[in-house]
Amino acid sequence: MSLKLKSIHPVFGAEASGVDLAAPLSDTDVRSINAAMNEHAVLVFRGQALTQQQQVALATSFGPLDIGLKRITKRGGRLDDERLLDISNVDDEGKVAKRDSPKNLSNFANQLWHSDSSFMKPRAAYSLLHCVVKPSWGGNTEFADLRAAYDALDERTKKDLQGLEAEHFALHTRELLGSEAYTDNQKMEIPPAVWPLLDTHAGSGRKLLYVGVHARQILGWPTAESRMFLIDLLEHATQRERVYAHEWQVGDTVIWDNRSTVHRGRRYDITERRELRRTTINDTPEAMLQAA
């Protein structure tokens, strides 16, 4: 079978079928998915349960994987492969974590609009998130299209963005939420990364507004003015007409492009079990070669 696509939003995103994600992908499959990602930015695959090993194999079809903030936390976790990121409220003993646990701090940070690993060089190209256990309500993931956000800017703001760069810091979200648990050595583990606010997507050639909550400072601007402008831009980017909300079902896999979208998790009852697994593909020359 070949990849089939059905639009799920007027601006971006598609439901994908016709490819068995649990089996090794052919070169044709990889090229087809990359082409669909360049166009749609978010692909939703329904009802394909994946083992941990199958998810890692699927993700590595698109390039080398990254462990993100595991560089700082260095927690072993419950999963078999360190390249699998445990997006859950379950502790290492398999129990629902306490409300004030480090696990839930990460979950609350994930409820802010962000692109995965924008605080790193290389940053993330794709993320793959697979649903294992869902709560009885809430816990959706929302996505916003940064290409459409740029297109909708007024001409003055487009001109203002020319040449501006923003510093993205790994622990900015955690500090916003009141955490003081990180040492100076941990803060130096992932130094800030700088990216242009006006970027161009390598696969599609479309201009985009590269914002997100990890961005804490526009280079050369006073902090207050910088942060207010970043807040305004992120508010613009995440207007409802540019947002797709994914309601999870067990067995769903969603692939998104972090270079052209931001996303956030939504509130749910954190006393109920919620388990998803994420793999993240680096934006490297190897990944770009496979996207060609």
Write the pLDDT tens digit of every residue in 153-175.
999 999 999 999 999 998 888 77
Write the pLDDT tens digit of every residue in 88-145.
999 989 999 999 888 888 889 899 999 999 999 999 999 999 999 999 999 999 999 9
Polymer length in residues for the chain: 292
> What residue numbers bound the domain in which 82 lies?
4-291
DSSP three-state, residue 269 = coil
Question: DSSP letter string over 35-47?
Answer: HHHHHHSEEEE-S
15 pLDDT more than 90: yes
Write the pLDDT tens digit of every residue in 21-53.
999 999 999 999 999 999 999 999 999 999 999
Q: What's the pLDDT at 292? A: 47
Cβ count near 281 (within 10 Å): 28
Q: What's the pLDDT at 179? A: 65
Which CATH number characterizes residue 285's domain?
Answer: 3.60.130.10
72 pLDDT more than 80: no
pLDDT classification of 185: cutoffs 50, 70, 90: confident
Q: What's the pLDDT at 221? A: 98
Residue found by looking up tokens 């790994």 in the block: 170
Question: DSSP letter string over 228-258?
Answer: HHHHHHHHHHT-GGGEEEE---TT-EEEEET
Yes or no: say if 216 and 165 are a contact pair by the CB < 8 Å rule.
no
pTM for the model: 0.93
Yes or no: say if 275 and 251 are a contact pair by the CB < 8 Å rule.
no
Write the pLDDT tens digit of every residue in 77-88.
789 899 999 999
Overall number of domains in the chain? 1
